Amino acid sequence: MLHLTCDPRSCADGTAAELDNVSAAFASGASELPLTQPLHVGDNALTLKIDRPGMGRDELVSLVVPVAYRVRADVSPMNGPHPSILIHVEALAGSDVHVDGKAVPLDAAGTGTYAIDEAVATEGPADESRVVSLDIPYTVAALGQAASTNAGTVSARVAVAPLRVDTPGVRAVVDTDHVLVAGRAAKGATVTIDGAPATVAADGAFEATVPLGAPGEISAEVRSGTAALAPRTVHVALKRVKSLADEAKVFEKQTTLGYDAALVNLATDVGQPIVVEGEVIEPRSSGHRTLLLIDDRRGCAKGPCLARVVVGQELTIARGDRLRAFGRVARGFTTPAGQTVPEIEADFVVHARR
């Protein structure tokens, strides 16, 4: 809109300014006139129709409104395959423009774009929506006018949808020709797995069966968003093998943590490979997952050495069973007794000999 001012002696209250069949009245010498279309960068020649109340003099007033530049944020690419926020710049041709300290070249029409990659903000599981919030500084100096550089900040806000994959987790090794992928998204969300729509319940719970071909490794892409929330993506690493027992031998060949070492450095050992072997103290099902409390005997100098193992599938496990779980340190877990123990996200488990 245009903010207009006029000497109240010349523009009494009720005087109307009109442009493109849209009018606004003056009050105390000021008026805000909505524009039917944005002004362009450069000089905008406008002719206003001034209509004074009663027998007041009506007239046409010509004026020029200069616009040196326009900077705006565009969050629409957050919904695309390459999530990003674009900062669009329109300025007088030849202007020197910097966004976030980086030079932005302008084309012959004086337009340019600065892209901010936000893939990290939309990748990986999250139980709640998360807001991407940016305040990006910019400077614009017209050609030959470096001394009168204009500076400002352009802001962008976009919320990213929550998405959690409970089954089979973010990594799994199986010896079957298919795997169930299930989890939870936002209410009203759509969910796709490798581009195919999954069944989503009213509360956001979803599931679908992903077929696996010949033994080998694939990455399944789970993606979810809503009309109001930008999509989040979780990549699930799946490996089909002929034999879990043989895969256990392969896993054992790498350097793995022992229980005591993992317990000492839980914060820094997240993601490190570990093998948990021992008796199941407590098995429990949770959705499509199996939660196990195991008395680990590997690298344990003085027992009991409890570890919580999360398996991304439903298993029939009884108290007292002896298992080997192959996976990675996820975090510290506090038991009901107040003891902090390692939590392990298992790629797979096999029964162990007593």
Q: Is the peptide bond before 168 cis (omega within 30 degrees of 0)?
A: yes
pLDDT number for residue 144: 63
Among candidate residues 221, 181, 229, the one with its CA nearest the CA of residue 205:
181
Residue spans of the domains in the chain: they are 2-67, 69-160, 163-240, 244-351
**Residues 14 and 20 sit within 8 Å (Cβ to Cβ):** no
Would you say the CATH fold of 244-351 matches that of 163-240? no
pLDDT at 222: 97
CATH class name, domain 163-240: mainly beta
Per-residue model confidence (pLDDT) at position 98: 96
Taking the C-alpha atoms of residue 61 and residue 47, their distance in angstroms, rounded to an integer, is 6
Would you state the pLDDT for residue 320? 93
Domain 244-351 sits in CATH at 2.40.50.140
User: Against a cut of 0.75, is the pTM above it?
Assistant: yes
Nearest to 100 by CA among 83, 82, 87: 87
- Collect contacts of 225-229 with beta carbons under 8 A, ≥24 apart: 225/79, 225/161, 225/189, 225/190, 226/161, 226/186, 226/188, 226/189, 226/190, 227/188, 228/159, 229/129, 229/159, 229/160, 229/161, 229/186, 229/189
pLDDT of residue 145: 56
Predicted local confidence at residue 354, as pLDDT: 63
Residues of the chain with pLDDT below 70 are 144-147, 354
Q: Residue 252 and residue 160: Cα distance in Å, rounded?
A: 39
